[in-house]
Structure 1
Amino acid sequence: MAQFAEDHDHLGSAVGPRHLAGPGDPRHVTHALRAAGWHTASDPLHPTVTLHSPDYSHQLTLAPKPGRPYQPWWHIRGPHGPAHWSAEFSGTTPVEIIAGLTDALVQPLPERLRSPWELLPAHGWSYHRQSGGSESATSPDKAVSMEWQISPIAGPLGWVIEAVDRHNLDRPGLLWRASLDDNTPSHLVAAFTAALAVPDPVLRGRYEIPYGLPLKQEREEPLGPKAAAAHAERLAEARRHRPRTPRPATGSPVPPAPQPTTSPARPAR
């Protein structure tokens, strides 16, 4: 925590919308998972970070690719077998949006699931349905699209989310890309969607704020105390969801608790 505070000891601002704010600090994701009881399974002298859930059913890998920030850096895998699913995020994806999914991995299942086609329009996104069955939504600034892709031959392909710099009309370019396969549980897709659509700004250092994008930037101030306090609060919340290890009775091992099952996040028809 001391190192996190030191690394953020510079001037910065709250900026929005978050989908244009740049990648941010990866520890926003990895520290929270560690606080929630995930195990580190990677070489501390290697830049790749691998974390396993307490029951080893899920895995997160952050594998930076120098010179290729728009390629998948973040890889998340679900349990083996019929329930297996995967998600990938480019190195430029804002960590607060990735955390929407990873936080949902350690939190209880929500009482009510909301479809992306319910969540996004509530925040001003426009909804589109294609003749082949694919569905999508576009952010109010036209920068981000979230699409449920269906192939007429192969069937459901999963979710693709892309952010594009449309401010430069001469050379629009990819800002970040995420993909969730068609087996991704509904509550994870919903949590990711909520983190994508929420209008709350995010903190960025002065030299971390992307140049030339239509960002709303609040007053610049020393970022360290605010960033450290927010991170400490976030880790405290993650620790609340850390699983407790039951003490087995003498000579009678305790069987593992059954894992909740969820259906893949296919849009309702």
Structure 2
Amino acid sequence: MSISERQLAAFAADHNVYGSPVSPRYLAGRGDPRHITHTLWAAGWTNSSDPLHPALRMTSPDRSLRLDVDFAEERYGWRVSTEFGHSYWSASFSTSTPVEIVAGLTDALMRPEPDTPALPVADILTARGWEHTTDETQTQSLLSPDGTVHAELRVSPSIGVTGWQFIAASHHGEFGPRGVLWRADFRETTPPHLLAAFTAAVCHPAPALRARFDHASSPHVHVDEEFVIGDAMVAVHKQRLAHARRMRPRPVQHAPGPAIPVPATPATASPAR
């Protein structure tokens, strides 16, 4: 599987516009969904959706994972999950979540699970200067240095841990978030290494390229000098596709089985004269 030249040309044409590097990336705006879908396709995921339906479903090569994309569902526009079973987990993201942040998780799906334990979410964020508090129920709360992103490990007194939630908003106060920009929700059974990959993407210091006016309007947003971003966007996209192709599972090579002996054909006696 590969992205065709026609698809790359369409991607390039859509980004042949003026734009800028925007930071922090969690305030950069949605971005292009093909940042994720093209990459998974190059890594061997298949499109298992109805081609005439606006929603998209992609399935992993081993058919254990699926990605559902439906921009009519604002809060759960992106959803990654396993097939239902003993180890079921799911993660959902609003359609406005920056694609580079969603890709923190989806890119990790293409890689083998690491042998070493993943860093806890709180450790990753506090290393970047996020404020960390824990209440009497053991619910953990973390707030970004600019006060716009709140992460919470929710703990219910009756049912225990219910999972992580991230919310980016213009303001977080006593009565909750105001001006919500995006949100992400993780079931408590989400593998720790995937949570860690997503969290690292949230607080990654690299800016994201965005077209003019496509980023959030906030005093905390820093916009660098403007230029035509098409060539830079295509170069980054091609690098991602090349990396994804290297992650594609190789076909299983079956060892040849033992040779089956062929019984000798008995000699036929010559007829008596």
Coarse TM-score class (shorter-chain normalised): 0.7 to 0.9
Q: TM-score, normalised by structure 1?
A: 0.87
**2 CA distance for matches of 1:206 and 1:191?**
28
- Cα deviation per residue 1:112-168 (whole Å; 9 max; x = unaligned)? 32111111011111111011011121100010011110100011110111001129x
2:161 aligned with 1:121: no
**2 CA distance for matches of 1:100 and 1:133?**
27
2:30 aligned with 1:23: yes
> Aligned pair count?
247
Unaligned runs of 5+ in 1: 253-269
**2 CA distance for matches of 1:154 and 1:202?**
39
Residue of 56, 59, 67 corresponding to 2:66: 59
2:80 counterpart residue number: 76
1:92 counterpart residue number: 96
Q: Report matched runs for 1:41-60 at 5 Å.
A: 41-60=48-67
Secondary structure of 2:132's partner? strand
Task: Report the alpha carbon displacement of residue 178 of structure 1 after superposing the two structures with TM.
Answer: 0.6
2:231 counterpart residue number: 225
Task: Report the alpha carbon displacement of residue 78 of structure 1 after superposing the two structures with TM.
Answer: 1.7
- Cα deviation per residue 1:160-209 (whole Å; 9 max; x = unaligned)? 11001129xxx931111110000000100000000011111001011312
Task: Report the alpha carbon displacement of residue 79 of structure 1 after superposing the two structures with TM.
Answer: 3.8
Q: TM-score, normalised by structure 2?
A: 0.86
Q: Aligned letter for 1:226?
A: A
Q: Is the 8 A contact 1:20 1:213 kept in 2?
A: no
1:255 counterpart residue number: none
Q: Is the 8 A contact 2:170 2:218 kept in 1?
A: no
Task: Report the alpha carbon displacement of residue 27 of structure 1 after superposing the two structures with TM.
Answer: 0.7
1:140 counterpart residue number: 145
Identity %: 44
Q: CA RMSD in A?
A: 1.8
Residue of 167, 170, 181 corresponding to 1:162: 167
Unaligned runs of 5+ in 2: 1-7, 259-273
Q: Aligned letter for 2:43?
A: A
